[in-house]
Chain A
Amino acid sequence: MKIFFEYLGLLHIEGIKNKSYIDVDADCTVVEMMTKLKIRKEHQKFISVFINNEEKSRQTILKENDRVKLFLPTGGG
């Protein structure tokens, strides 16, 4: 199924265009999606998840056409 995918901050995902539709497995969770996208485990623990502009847990099951945003802040302040 297709979802709209956006990532912000420190994340750089090889081969995935930011702000684009991507294919994910039906009924997969956010964690499963992150693992499939090869997002490093040490990054995963600091990532916040937003689905359709709402804060969601990483165990949330994705639905067709969800707008998924992953946020990993960069350092500095």
Chain B
Amino acid sequence: MKKITYDQLTARNSSQLKGKLEKAVIGIAGCGGLGSNVAIALARIGIGKLILVDFDVVEPTNLNRQQYFVDDIGKRKVDALEAKLKMINPFLQIEKHYEKLNGINVKIIFEEAHVIVEAFDKVSEKAMLVKSFTEKLFKEKCLVTASGLAGFGSANTIKTKKLSKNIFVCGDNKTDFLIEGVMAPRVMIAAGHQANKVVEIIDKIL
């Protein structure tokens, strides 16, 4: 592989973020449509460490929105994503967890994270992660969750909204994948909102 320096990778970043991104640890809860896109965006800008959590393997039906290739089918998502992230940013530290998150292991797995990105697809899993915050499992961390990115149509209904001091939600808060399907364009917009909110938080706290 060709060699680059961290300074070259981050040369076009906002100068205000200098020295901050490489210290940041971000938890990615789910490496599907949202999680794979958020992880790639953060890897590109030189984030320090990502904690990737997913219990699934890549399937053909994932390819319409998730950052995997045909050759990845059958691989664990955390492994396939790690390989891509390393090709983009060789300086990135990656911690992988091939397991299902629950109300108990979430605290241990994300202990080191400054910000956690909720990137699940099922309502019950999304709610579990938000609940871990509302039940004060995490007092000093921030959560960036997503709700409403299904179907196609207006891109401008996808917004970032503050739910509390440390919980933000990205999406239109309306569309649901069981009714409208789920496709790359709107998923990537919501993931972009999530990644951008992560950067804003890191700028504030580090």
Whether B126 and A75, one on each chain, are in contact in the complex, defined by CB atoms closer than 8 angstroms, is: yes
B177 at interface, CB cutoff 8 A: yes
Q: Answer whether residue B13 sits at the interface, using C-beta atoms and an 8 A cutoff.
A: no
Q: Are A56 and B134 in contact (CB under 8 A)?
A: yes
In the assembled complex, the CB of A46 is this many whole angstroms from the nearest CB of chain B, namely: 4
CB of B164 within 8 A of chain A?
yes
B2 CB to closest chain A CB (Å) equals 33
A55 to B135, CA, bound (A): 8
> Which of B33, B124, B161, B163 contacts A77, CB < 8 Å?
B33
Q: Inter-chain contact count A-B, CB under 8 Å? A: 100
B17 to chain A, nearest CB (A): 27
Q: Please report which residues of chain B, range 4-58, place their CB below 8 angstroms from some CB of chain A when the two chains form the complex.
A: 30, 32-35
A76–B121 touching, CB < 8 Å? yes
**Cβ of B187 under 8 Å from chain A:** yes
Q: Which residues of B contact A55 (CB under 8 A)?
A: 133-136, 164, 167
- Residue on B with the closest CB to A49? B134
- List which A10-46 residues lie within 8 A (CB) of chain B: 10, 45-46
State in angstroms the CA–CA spacing of A77 and B135 once bound together: 24
Whether A73 lies near B145 (C-beta < 8 A) is yes
B130, closest chain A residue (CB): A48
Q: Is B147 an interface residue (CB 8 A)?
A: yes
Cβ of A72 within 8 Å of any chain B Cβ, yes or no, is yes
Residues of B contacting A65 with CB < 8 Å?
none
Do A76 and B176 touch across chains, with their CB atoms under 8 A apart?
yes
Task: Assess whether B3 is interfacial by the CB under 8 Å rule.
Answer: no
- Mask: chain B, 164-196; 1 = CB below 8 Å from A; 0 = not: 110101010111111000100001000000000
Instruction: For B119, list chain A residues within 8 Å (CB).
Output: 77
Interchain nearest-CB distance for B130 vs A (Å): 5
Chain A residues engaging chain B, CB cutoff 8 angstroms: 8-10, 45-50, 53-57, 69, 71-77
Residues of B participating in the A interface, judged by any CB pair closer than 8 Å: 30, 32-35, 119-124, 126-127, 130-131, 133-136, 145-150, 161-165, 167, 169, 171, 173-178, 182, 187
* 10 sampled A-B residue pairs with Cβ under 8 A: A8-B161, A48-B134, A55-B164, A71-B163, A73-B127, A74-B171, A76-B182, A76-B187, A77-B30, A77-B126
